[in-house]
Structure 1
Amino acid sequence: MTPTSSAKRTKAEIAAEMLEAAIVNCDLQPGTVVAEADLMEMLGLGRTPVREALVRLSSENLVRLGRAGIVIPELNAMTMLKLLELREPIERLSIQKATQRLNSTDMDRFAQILDQLAPLPNDDRAGFMTLLRQIHGAVAEASKNEFILSTMKTTQGLSRRFWRYYATDQDQEFCTALYCAMLRGLISGDAVAPVQKSEELMTYLRDFTRRQMEALV
């Protein structure tokens, strides 16, 4: 299934996507408190779609809603390691089920993403974040299991943001190669390589996160 066009999305869905991008790309700085009115002005949307978007992002751990305002969670390496404990088995299951259940539409979507990812410059963080979100969504949808999709959403946003904040061009080059290999394996119907690449990615992410912890000591 191809991404929904803007014309078919609700204003709340558009608001959620725009806010998620602003949070993941750290345009809304970690640890800050923002007012609902400021978000309405930033997005150019009304109170109702912005509130609906905030509720959705709250369920995905990307914001915390309180009386003081909307809190953008701080970057926390220990939280990332805990998320990886959940993310690793869920992504493995998602890939395994995708290889069993994907159809021609799924493969076409993987191919479209691969065509954009392979030539992406290693310093294009925003572009990589956009494609990474598409990859996670495409694999989860190819699993044909809505519970996998909903569970992945609770881990992916914060994980992407942490990586986005600290990653170097070399990190992006390494991850791009892994994701390209994973996509090629899915497109070709390989049941082994995509899972192996996911395991390599998880090992890398744990090491990456621990390096950030050590650097802050």
Structure 2
Amino acid sequence: MGQGPRHQAAQIAYDGLLERILTLELKPGEAIDEKRATELLDLGRTPIREALIRLSQEDLVVIRPRRGTFVAPLDPTELRALEEMRFPLEELSAELAAKRAAPTDIDALSALVEEAEGTRGQEPSRDLDRRFHSAVANAAHNVPLARTLRRLYNQVTRYHSALGAGDHDARDEREDYQQLLDAIRERDAGRAREVMRRHLRDSLTRMALSLGDLGTDA
């Protein structure tokens, strides 16, 4: 229990750095200044370093001995590989969620669908999309699967940010959320898998159209 505050500080550092990496506030290839990070997040160096080690294990930063720590570069080849791995796992997650979701999982997904509906007139945020996918993964009640998907989604989110992949038909995305929620609520595993597959393919198509604009400031 004595380690609680330390772990909490490391989690705050991780969340703060992760958000800046995913939104490209910290750009691909950019050096991460530990001293500046401690001032920005109002934390000591130990939690910052622990967070950076964790981010390096998730391939979001690169630690180069005697040179420093850098945000991992972006690579179109990596994006394709990530999506090849992510797609079948997301479909499995949706299928398992339809079979295993508890009432609390349905409530969490319903709240996110309502939040998305509240954004009519504007596009749902990448953060909302990330939270929706995470909620589906949680509803699958498979911890290794959820952990793997969160890591993959974090990596893919940087490409969404770089490609402007949030510029899309928001109505379709909200409809996907609602249809996936309906399939999970109705325990229709096949339908849940189908909706997730279509949702992911539409997302990949939007990114492919922008892929030529990808910059890698490594």
Shared topology, TM-score over 0.5?
Answer: yes
Q: Deviations over 1:90-130 (max 9, x none)?
A: 111111111111111111111111111222256567xx222
Corresponding residue number in structure 2 for 1:104: 103
1:79 aligns with 2:85: no
Structure-1 residue corresponding to 2:64: 66
The answer for the alignment partner of 2:142 in structure 1 is: 145
Give the alignment's TM-score, normalised by structure 1.
0.84
1:75 partner amino acid: L
Q: Does 1:194 align with 2:192?
A: yes
Structure 2 runs not aligned, ≥5 long: none
One-letter code of the match for 1:97?
Answer: L
Matched-pair identity in %: 28
Show the 5 A alignment for 1:1-217: 10-67=8-65, 68-121=67-120, 123=122, 128-165=125-162, 166-215=164-213
> How far 1:200 moved relative to its partner?
1.1
In the alignment, structure 1 segments of 5+ residues that lack a partner are: 1-6
Contact 1:129 1:160 in 2 (8 A): yes
Deviations 1:132-163 (A, max 9, x none): 22222222221111110221133111211211
Q: Please say which structure displays the higher CA radius of gyration.
A: 2
Q: Is the 8 A contact 2:123 2:168 kept in 1?
A: no
Number of equivalenced pairs: 208
Tell me if the contact between 2:94 and 2:136 (Cα under 8 Å) persists in the aligned partners: yes
CA shift digits 1:155-182 (9 cap, x unpaired): 1112112112322532544434323332
1:4 equivalent in structure 2: none
TM-align CA RMSD:
2.4
Aligned partners of 1:25 and 1:161 also within 8 Å? yes
